[in-house]
Chains A and B, each alone.
Chain A
């Protein structure tokens, strides 16, 4: 997460916020705190907006995904029965919809790069993004270079304790096709591309799409200069603590159903409970079609790959 440091550190704003909410402005720990800060800073009459979070396809589903996990639940139980339409899921969606009111006007239509430019104008309190976002925001094209505070994705209070669930999504994969005529060479190329030396060169590229993923990247001076040290500290910690993506067969279908319905709920076409019930129903169909046995096995394997600290707290 990206925050405008000036706004967080402003003494007058701090006083007003503290008077209203009982705590000072800070990098928020929970989604509730973030939503409260976005509402506080949202002053469209003064051309200031609470946030530049995304409300377009896929992005909106990803945000809901993190909000939901932060409530302390897995998306499926051990037998692949969806849990996303539980009270926690509905609450997460209601909170997401409520937060939409405090976003800038382009949130529902702008894509990735428009988002970078929009947040780089310096009139929105916070943004959500990746290393690539920071590459832009820390460049000369941004008006807020050096004026940001960073934090991991907010979490939630589960049984009174803070639970943060940063989410590793949208990565790059090298895949060797099963019908490749030169599988060994293809595999060797993937090793070469991901090697410490070559990957460092790729991550260094300011206009490139690769972000740090090896410990050696976080120590490289050029990469530190491109991203800034405070950002890299947060990025590295988030990478270590992140929950995995939904690595199941049919991931695209599961998420497509989710994003259609979450977006429909966000624009008022469906009620949150109705939307998530439909998602759960379609997910059951997808699971049956993919083969429930194999999906259960894969899901249980995936659950075990959640970070230890998070795994113990999700149900």
Chain B
């Protein structure tokens, strides 16, 4: 029997069989989702790259694709913009300080919750409650706590025995503290969950062997548990670093970046630039520069992870 003739209009490579040969099944299944994600991520990124090379402002009344090119002048201006550089440095400070505090607190809590004890499950539920609070509400709570006549100053007054009315939110040196405390309070529970899960999945035989061999609890923690936990710690730090880098709600609610620009983080800088002065092109360039910084952080942490696996 003669083979069924293929329509000459359909090229060979688009037939179903050819497609199945070209693209493995497991890839084909994921392809629609991958293409969607790529479109959603890639297209806006390309638009941002274009905008970063222009000085487009929506108030000019011209469409974004017809904006005049200024090439790399936005990048040049950003490097020489003291406020931008200060915002990046300040944000890095917030990330390092918050990560250190969150990690230490989370590790301490996780070690406490490692063993079973009465009410443990209820205690875990209470500890993770801050994560459930809308971040704007959390920031509002800290605004009231650190008000000149708020509970924090009142507590300090009770401790020192005289009136204490310090303007936390308007002192250029201390205004970052309530912001960081708000962030730490809300997101330590997430770090705690990650670290606790990691601790609970450590191989018990190694830890038991160390006990049997007479190692102290501190030595076991430092020389056995911590190295085994390192991948979890690195991933937790990576995830939280990226999120903390984007900190906005506490800054906006507590200080709006003030006094002056003393607490202006990179998100606040970009918010003002994009939505207050509409300098979309300039902020697009800032966004790409920040992307490079964040990728560098991720790269550094992932190298740690790879080194650990070796």
Report which A residues bind B (CB closer than 8 A).
55-57, 105-106, 108-109, 178, 249-250, 252-253, 256, 260-261, 263-264, 266-270, 289
CB distance from B250 to the nearest CB of A (A): 14
Q: Are A109 and B260 in contact (CB under 8 A)?
A: no
| Residues of chain B lying within 8 A (CB to CB) of residue A249 | 59
Chain A residues with CB under 8 Å of B276's CB are 252, 256
CB of A269 within 8 A of CB of B169, answer no
Interfacial chain A residues near B170, Cβ < 8 Å: 55-56, 108-109, 267
A178 / chain B contacts, CB cutoff of 8 Å: 61
Take A106-B148, A108-B169, A269-B172 as given contacts and tell me if A264 and B260 are in contact as well, using a CB distance cutoff of 8 Å. yes
A105 partner, pick from B83, B143, B148, B262, beta carbons under 8 A: B148
Q: List the B side residues contacting A264 at CB < 8 Å.
A: 172, 259-262
- Report how far A109 CA is from B148 CA in the complex, Å: 8
| Inter-chain contact A106/B260, CB cutoff 8 Å | no
Minimum C-beta distance from B273 to chain A (A): 9
> Could you say which residues of chain B place their CB within 8 Å of the CB of A256?
272, 276-277
Q: Does A105 lie within 8 Å of B167, measured CB to CB?
A: yes
A contact residues around B256 at 8 Å (CB) = 56-57
B171 interface contact, C-beta 8 A: yes
Q: Which residues of B contact A (CB under 8 A)?
A: 55, 59, 61, 83, 143, 147-149, 165, 167, 169-172, 256-262, 272, 276-279
**B61 contacts across to A, CB distance below 8 A:** 178
Q: Output the nearest chain A residue to B63 by Cβ-Cβ distance.
A: A179
Task: Report the separation of the CA atoms of residues A267 and B147 in the bound assembly, to the nearest whole angstrom.
Answer: 17
Number of A-B contacts (CB under 8 A): 62
Closest to B82 in A: A278
Q: Min CB distance, B161 to chain A, in Å?
A: 17
Q: Which of B148, B165, B172, B258 has the most CB atoms of chain A within a 10 A radius of its CB?
A: B258
Across the interface, do B149 and A267 meet the contact criterion of CB distance under 8 Å? no
A289 to B260, CA, bound (A): 23
Residue numbers in A under 8 Å from B261 (CB-CB): 260, 264
Which residue of A57, A109, A289 contacts B147 across the interface (Cβ within 8 Å)?
A: A109
Q: Are A109 and B169 in contact (CB under 8 A)?
A: yes
A268 to B, closest residue via Cβ:
B172
CB distance B165 to A267 under 8 Å?
no
Between A and B, 18 residue pairs with Cβ closer than 8 Å are A55-B170, A56-B170, A56-B256, A56-B258, A106-B147, A253-B279, A260-B258, A260-B260, A261-B260, A263-B258, A263-B259, A264-B259, A264-B261, A264-B262, A267-B171, A267-B262, A269-B259, A270-B260
